[in-house]
Amino acid sequence: MKKHEMIDLQLFADASAALNNTTSTSGMTAEMKTFYEKRLIDQAEPRLVHDQFADYYPVPQNGGKTIEFRKYDSLPKATTPLTEGVTPNGQALNVTTITSDLHQYGGWTPLTDQLQMTAIDNNVVQATRVLASQAGRTMDSITRDVLAGGTNVIYAPKVAADGTESVVKSRANLDKTCTLTPKLFFRAAAQLGAMNADPIGDSYIAIIHPYAAYDLKTSKEFIEVHKYADPEAMFRGEIGKLGNIRFIETSEAKIWKDATCPAGLAVFGTLVLGAHAYGVTELEGGGLEHIVKQLGYGDDPLNQRASVGWKGMRAAERLVEQYMIRIESVSSYSASASAN
């Protein structure tokens, strides 16, 4: 919806206004259904930080429950000089396919007739806002957990009192001195560069939890976003940069606190990404659906029950492991932080 367009939201919450000759199967006009569908998607998308840098693939219609992601291998260097008048042999493109199963997710909330008659707020609009948050966080977590399973890991080193660093080779061996430093990100950027990972725009991207970012922001190398960024060119959630890595902050960044972690400490996963590292399914075209049932729909003889809900299909897949690196560390908040 364009900013200058005005819509009477109360009209959309009025059940009697929705029941006319053009109602859809949910008891809403096609115009209202479209309005709410767009509203749900618009409010869900700002929470999809982990989807922000993915390659998008449409959800297939009537195509089964499996989606195919594709990647093209690089061609070898053509170092042999051409012979005058002779066309060299062509080089075939090699396409690797990765299949992933689509799964459906969803949630809903009931709206009773008494609630609709006595509540001050527009119930459908408010329910849509809350459910959009749930949908966005759900879809985001599914993508995040796939990325957090990547095989390229850097563990923050232990730091002795004299500043000496010692290598850590597993999550369980981290301790309270293993916090994030600029050096770790310069190392990650070097590894991505060595793998010929393209930047996303002008930089690589790091997705970081606020508790993990806390220890990094005090370093003199960290440049806060307001000191360099054009507001129009900022990524959603961007907080600053180190070298050629731009940082996206989100409370949904991965946290572990289980038997794989050091006793009593949460471990934070910070993702450093190049372009085309992973793919996800698009939200529209079957990916995310908003569902409103009006009072009296279905088995409701006294018009007592209405509901608002959502459901969506989702698949996410790591496409090129070499284009993503996960840095695992503790932070000043590791003792009190919880897993997500």
- Tens digit of pLDDT for each residue in 277-294? 999 987 666 678 888 888
Q: Are 150 and 324 in contact (CB under 8 A)?
A: yes
Rg (alpha carbons) of the chain, rounded to whole number = 25
Alpha-carbon span 240 to 229, nearest angstrom: 8
pLDDT at 26 over 50: no
Q: Are residues 51 and 176 in the same domain?
A: no
pTM of the complete model = 0.80
Q: Are residues 203 and 325 in the same domain?
A: yes
- Supply the range of the domain harboring residue 298: 21-72+95-146+279-317
Supply the CATH number for residue 227's domain.
3.30.2320
Neighbour-count burial of 241, counting CB atoms closer than 10 A to its CB (0-12 exposed, 13-18 middle, 19+ buried): buried
Please state the separation of Cα 123 from the chain's center in Å.
Answer: 28
In-domain check, residue 243: yes
Which residue in the block uniquely carries the two structure tokens 């990765």? 98
In-domain check, residue 7: no
Q: Are residues 181 and 324 in the same domain?
A: yes
Q: Are residues 215 and 285 in the same domain?
A: no
pLDDT at 320: 92
Q: Are residues 187 and 324 in the same domain?
A: yes
- Tens digit of pLDDT for each residue in 32-52? 566 656 666 666 665 679 999
pLDDT at 304 over 80: yes
pLDDT at 178: 96
Please state the separation of Cα 53 from the chain's center in Å.
Answer: 8
Q: Are residues 45 and 193 in the same domain?
A: no
Q: How many domains does the chain have?
A: 2
State both tokens at 147. 């990325």
pLDDT at 287: 72
Alpha-carbon span 315 to 139, nearest angstrom: 9
Q: Are residues 142 and 165 in the same domain?
A: no
In-domain check, residue 126: yes
In-domain check, residue 268: yes
pLDDT at 205: 98
Q: Are residues 324 and 193 in the same domain?
A: yes
- Report the amino acid identity of residue 7: I
Angle at the Cα of 142 (from 137 to 147), degrees rounded to 5?
Answer: 120
State both tokens at 314. 């989702």
pLDDT at 93 over 90: no
Q: Are residues 195 and 325 in the same domain?
A: yes
Alpha-carbon span 53 to 204, nearest angstrom: 10
Count the alpha carbons within 13 Å of 181 in the hemisphere toward its beta carbon.
14
The DSSP letter of residue 52 is T
Q: Are residues 99 and 232 in the same domain?
A: no
Average pLDDT over residues 117-132: 74
Ramachandran assignment for 322, one of left (phi > 0), alpha (psi -120 to 50 degrees), beta (any other): alpha
Q: How many residues can be counted in the chain?
A: 340
Average pLDDT over residues 5-19: 35
Q: Are residues 217 and 256 in the same domain?
A: yes
Look at 259 and 45; give whichever has higher pLDDT.
259
pLDDT at 6: 37
Q: Are residues 203 and 163 in the same domain?
A: yes
Supply the CATH number for residue 36's domain.
3.30.2400
Look at 104 and 231; give whichever has higher pLDDT.
104
The percent of residues in the chain predicted with pLDDT above 70, rounded, is 81
